[in-house]
Amino acid sequence: MELKQKEIRLLREDEIECRVSLIKETGLSLLLYKDARVDQKILDEIFTPFGWKRSHQIMDGNLYCTVEVWDEDKKQWVGKQDVGTTSYAEKEKGQASDSFKRACFNWGIGRELYTAPFIWIPAKFAGIQRKENRYISNERFHVQSIAYDETRAICSLVIVNSKRQVVYVQNSADAEVKVKTGKSEKKSVEKGITKSQKRKLELELERTGVSLGMVLERYHLKKEDELTESIYEQAMKDLKVSKSLDAA
């Protein structure tokens, strides 16, 4: 297969890391990352373990990485290069890893992460604590699901915390989106809830005394029509473990 015909696949949810960018008393923001192991795995998948190579060069005191792949049609190596940034822990290792990941971005691996929205997690879901003159959080966040549109931009994103609570939702509720996983492609449609599901939700709200407004606020929704099946299922799980209003 010619190099130009090989398409870099989009990242799956289990290949994406959530890292804290900023912490305040009211909440924290997250950034989406990939690590070098993901880059290596995808390069192996697309070009085979023998179809790519990496090298490092120091220029003007900075460490650069070049990732080359074999073009069978032209019978030559084609490379893309980028520079790494300094790591506070292990300087050389950090720069080597960072320059490699940046070079892989140039090949298109994980480039879709640049289309991520601003992700803000309210303090009540983030376990924020004050330590001396700063705020910290030991909470861990994970991407539960992700989908992309025809331009390879993120159009649907669900993030959960370590308790599996949904803490962030970006949703294209009425739009059909393409989800690319590995070499196959499937279509996924975020559907709204049915009348039966709506009634079950109403009964749980009556039992617990929780208002619909509280549910919408928790999942960052503006109106009931934005409730999807995945959010409904998570909301029902959370409500099931809540005490009844009469027992409270």
- Residue among 83, 94, 57, 72 at smallest CA distance from 4: 72
Percent of the chain surpassing pLDDT 90: 54
pLDDT at 241: 67
SS3 210: coil
Region 35-109: CATH code:
3.30.160
Give tens-digit pLDDT for 151-203. Answer: 999 999 999 999 889 999 986 543 334 444 333 344 444 567 898 989 999 99
Q: Are strands 27-33 and 119-122 parallel, antiparallel or unpaired?
A: antiparallel
Q: pTM for this structure? A: 0.66
CA distances (Å), origin 143, targets 151, 153, 184: 21, 16, 21
Instruction: Give the pLDDT mean for 9-22.
Output: 95
SS3 234: helix
Give tens-digit pLDDT for 212-246. Answer: 888 877 766 778 888 887 788 878 877 776 666 65
Between CA 57 and CA 65 the distance in angstroms is: 6
Between CA 177 and CA 141 the distance in angstroms is: 24
Q: Please write down the HEC assignment for all residues of 57-73.
A: EEECCEEEEEEEEEECC
Within the chain, all domains assigned CATH 3.30.160 are found at 35-109
What is the chain's mean pLDDT, rounded?
Answer: 83
